[in-house]
Amino acid sequence: MIEVLGGRPGSGPAQLAKVGFVAQESPLYAGFTVTDHLRFGAHMNPAWDAALARDRIDELGLDPRQRAGQLSGGQRAQLALTLALAKRPELLILDEPIASLDPLARSEFLRSLAGYTASRQVSVVMSSHLVSDLERICDYLVVLVASRVQLAGPVTELLASHRQGLEDLVLDYMSRATINRQPTPEA
């Protein structure tokens, strides 16, 4: 049986309220305004932090009247992150949230995330193919190839023991796993 934060996933609203999620596409309602999204978030999440959401929107310079469908990719990602953070999760799951962002939007997203997590008790699990970004923000790394763990450990220890950059280290392990998975030619 799998447990997340002491309970079974999907075991009810109380368990679901502990988890925030941001997907790669930053799925938002294109016809909703920024304010509509915040209202919807407040309606759906009993522990909603309206002040945090409002402060983030102000800090990001988002127009509360603007429709999500008119926001840039970086703005949509930041709005999606705001919705996930304002529910005050204990676990934040990020599935490739920065993959489609330009370098500036990626940097701003990661800075926002780091600022939030530095002052709160929240665990973050983030999947990403952008390894160079991970080196700056991650404490622990798990490299998966074909759903199998190839490498896992604290980033500082991995870097110290392998004497190469994180991207080179990850590529090395991914290459080895790929070579080992290839079928051998029949004689």
For 78-88, how does the pLDDT look when each residue is reduced to its tens digit (9 = 90+)? 999 999 999 99
The pLDDT tens digits for 128-156 are 888 887 877 889 999 888 888 988 999 88
DSSP-assigned letter for residue 67: B
pLDDT at residue 2 above 80? no
- What domains, with CATH codes, occur in the chain? 1-137 (3.40.50.300), 139-182 (no CATH)
What does the pLDDT read at residue 181?
A: 63
Query: Is the pTM above the cut of 0.85?
Result: no
pLDDT at residue 187 above 50? no
pLDDT at residue 49 above 60? yes
Say which residue, 41 or 151, is predicted with more confidence.
Answer: 41
pLDDT at residue 63 above 80? yes
Share in percent of the chain as helix, strand, coil (round to 5): 50, 15, 35
Average pLDDT over residues 155-181: 81
How far from the centroid of its chain's Cα atoms is residue 61's Cα? 21
DSSP structure string for 86-147: HT--SEEEEESTTTTS-HHHHHHHHHHHHHHHHTS--EEEEE-S-HHHHHHH-SEEEEEETT
What does the pLDDT read at residue 56?
A: 93
Amino acid found at 131: V
